[in-house]
Chain A
Amino acid sequence: MKNIGLVAYLDIKESLRAKWFYVYAFVFGGLMGLFFISGITDSVVMGFTGLSRLLLVFIQVTIIILPIFILITTVKSISSDRESNVLEYMLSFPVSLKEYYWGKLIGRFATVFFPVIVALFVGVAWGLFKGGEMPWAMIFLYSALIFSICTVFLGIAFFISTIVKSHDIALGLSFTVWIILLAFIDVALIGLMMQNRISDDVILTIAMLNPLEAFRIGAIALFDPELTVIGPVAYYLLDSLGHTFLMLYAIFYPVVLGAFFAVFGYRAFKKRDLL
């Protein structure tokens, strides 16, 4: 496994020069900046202190946009490497497929994880500067959630990239995955519930299986559910399964799911033609 670090390191170097990385870092940095300017931190609304409110809004936006960023940029770069024969050349060197695949995954992970986590910490630093208290629990939970989001969507992205060879189809599929997951968070689920054709258990199971819903619930699990509009499904789950369980679930379930996808992707990478 001597080359795994090499592949990861070179992937990071390559990403740091890529345009998508700048857009990405700019979006998450910009998001924080926007929150500062708009004064979210200054008001005490609905029982949140400024900093908690800032972090909560940040994580909620992140849950929605981070997945599509990860999916699109990852799928795009892998499939364009394949179509432009970069993969052919790089894999003509004595590097095992294991080293190449997992090295790329680790490198990618670093480049998608750090800008978001840095934005989070900048937000915290700003909040402290403005005179808030250090929200340890939130920082810890949200860092873990960001880690978890990155893992699950990178796993899915690597899976899609190895299964689907065509650039356009891979991009389309990524987008579809994101839309479906989004559609099955609370709003759509209420619709299903109201139509009443499907039992509550099914709906709650769907909610729990959807990593986006898990993140949403995990992110608000620190608070009293009465405080915020979180949707009936999330409310019900928090009430019946307990906050601690849901926090742990929101962190670990997506990591496991992402690992499964990554491993299936690796299997497919080995079993199928490389080009």
Chain B
Amino acid sequence: MKIVEAKGVTKRFMGAKVLDDVTLDIKIGEQIAMMGPNGAGKTTLVRAILGFYHLDGGRIRVDGYNPVKERVKVLEKISFIPQLPPPVKLSVSELLTFVQRSTGARKERIISQAEAMELDIEKHVEKPFFKLSGGMKQKLLIAIALARRSRLLVFDEPTANLDPKAREQFYGLLESLDYEHASIFITHRLEEVEGLVNRKIYMDLGKVVEDERI
């Protein structure tokens, strides 16, 4: 069962091809490590899957839907963690309200996911999100992403700010996900996700240069 279908995807920024004819299918059950040097186009590719960009060529479908034209249908199925925690000015409780109302993921579930990484959200509900520490932000983003129980998880270097213990807890949570899903982990540290993944994709200069299923 295909969740993502990308065919000949091309995207230019100011004349430069950042994605160059990328063709890629992702099936439910695939856990993908996406790697490649800085500037290879990894973030651009996942943003295109999320419908942020109008493509210069090719097409993307997520569960059969066009991410630009049917963004709500597409985003209902995707949990995304960005490369850098965004300095959201909403308070933690407002952010959780936004998530709950837009996705249906219960606040309690987010709170319990966060507890599994030893983040006590109740203590920080009134704080603006951007005033949390780097690691706390990241844990909260992870908790939100996991609580949504999405069929596609897109994590752009999710462990950058986590201490070693939190990393272990994070991978533990991923392993305990008990429903059918696919994941994309963008990472520069393969050894960390090696045990979790069953497919590795290498990108360079906007192309998929290696795609290996294990």
How far does the alpha carbon of A86 sit from the alpha carbon of B74 in the complex, in Å? 20
Q: Which of A3, A14, A88, A274 contacts B89 (CB 8 A)?
A: A14
- Classify the secondary structure of B's interface with A: mixed
A272 touches B86 (CB 8 A): no
Cβ of B119 within 8 Å of any chain A Cβ, yes or no, is: no
B90 touches which one: A10, A273, A274, A275 (CB < 8 A)? A10
* A86 CA / B76 CA spacing, docked (Å): 19
Contact, CB under 8 Å: B52 / A91: yes
Q: Mark B80-96, 1 if CB is under 8 A from A, else 0.
A: 10101011111100100
Number of interface residues of A (CB under 8 A): 26
CB-defined contacts of A271 to chain B, threshold 8 Å: 54
Does any Cβ of A come within 8 Å of B171's Cβ? no
Find residues 129-165 in chain B having any chain A CB closer than 8 Å to their own CB.
none
Tell me which of A14, A94, A275 contacts B75 (CB under 8 A).
A94
Complex CA distance for A3 and B74, rounded to whole angstroms: 16
Pair A93/B103 contact, Cβ less than 8 Å:
yes
Return the contact of B54 from the options A13, A93, A272 (Cβ within 8 A).
A272
* Contacts A17-B128, A273-B54, A275-B47 given; does A89 touch B102 at CB 8 Å: no
Known: A14-B90, A93-B103, A94-B72. A88 touches B52 (CB 8 A): yes
* SS of A interface (majority): loop
Nearest CB on B from A98, distance (A): 10
- A6–B88 touching, CB < 8 Å: no
Residues of A within 8 A of B54 (CB): 271-273
Residue from B72, B73, B91, B99 having most chain A Cβ neighbours under 10 A: B72
Given A92-B75, A93-B103, A86 and B86 contact (CB-CB distance below 8 Å) = yes
For B39-57 the 0/1 string (1 means CB < 8 A from A) is 0000000010011111000
Q: Give 1 or 0 for each of A1-45: 1 = CB within 8 Å of chain B CB.
A: 011001000100110011000000000000000000000000000
Give the residues in chain A near B66, CB-CB below 8 Å: none
Q: Is the CB of B89 within 8 A of A93?
A: no
In the complex, whether A97 has a CB less than 8 A from a CB of chain B is: yes
Interface string of A90-113 (1 = CB under 8 A from B): 111111110000000000000000
B82→A94 contact, CB < 8 A? no
Q: Mark A249-267, 1 if CB is under 8 A from B, else 0.
A: 0000000000000000000
Expressed in whole angstroms, the minimum distance between the Cβ of A160 and any Cβ of chain B is: 21
The count of residues in chain B whose C-beta lies closer than 8 Å to any C-beta of chain A is 30
Q: Is A86 in contact with B102, judged by CB distance below 8 angstroms? A: no
Q: Is the CB of B88 within 8 A of A90?
A: yes
Q: A6-B102, A10-B94, A84-B87 given as contacts; is B72 within 8 A of A273 (CB)? A: no
Q: How many A-B residue pairs have CB under 8 A?
A: 77
Tell whether B27 is near chain A: CB-to-CB under 8 Å: no
| Interface residue? A85 (CB, 8 A) | yes
From B53, B87, B89, residue with most partner A Cβ within 10 Å: B89
Minimum C-beta distance from B39 to chain A (A): 16
Asked whether B101 is an interface residue with its Cβ less than 8 Å from the other chain, the reply is yes
Residues of A near B82 (CB, < 8 A) are 85, 88-89, 92
Query: Nearest chain B CB to A73's CB is how many angstroms away?
Result: 13
Contact between B75 and A93 (Cβ–Cβ < 8 Å)?
A: yes
Which residue of chain A lies nearest to B145 when distances are taken between CB atoms in the complex? A92
B87 to chain A minimum Cβ distance, whole angstroms, is 5
- Is the pair B53, A273 in contact by a Cβ cutoff of 8 Å? yes
Q: A159: shortest Cβ distance to chain B, in Å? A: 19
Contact B86 A3 (CB under 8 A): no
Interchain CB contact under 8 A, A95 and B102? yes
In the complex, the answer to whether A84 meets B86 with C-beta atoms within 8 Å is: yes
- Beyond A84-B86, A94-B76, A94-B102: 11 further Cβ-contacts under 8 Å? A10-B98, A14-B94, A85-B84, A86-B88, A88-B86, A90-B98, A93-B99, A93-B102, A94-B75, A96-B71, A271-B54
Give 20 CB contacts A-B under 8 Å: A6-B98, A84-B87, A85-B82, A89-B80, A90-B88, A90-B98, A92-B50, A92-B75, A92-B78, A92-B80, A92-B82, A93-B75, A93-B99, A93-B102, A94-B72, A94-B76, A274-B52, A274-B53, A275-B47, A275-B53
Residues of B within 8 A of A (CB): 47, 50-54, 71-76, 78, 80, 82, 84, 86-91, 94, 97-99, 101-103, 128
Kindly list the 9 A-B residue pairs having the minimum CB-CB distance in the complex, ordered from nearest. A94-B75, A92-B80, A89-B86, A94-B76, A86-B86, A85-B86, A93-B102, A94-B72, A274-B52
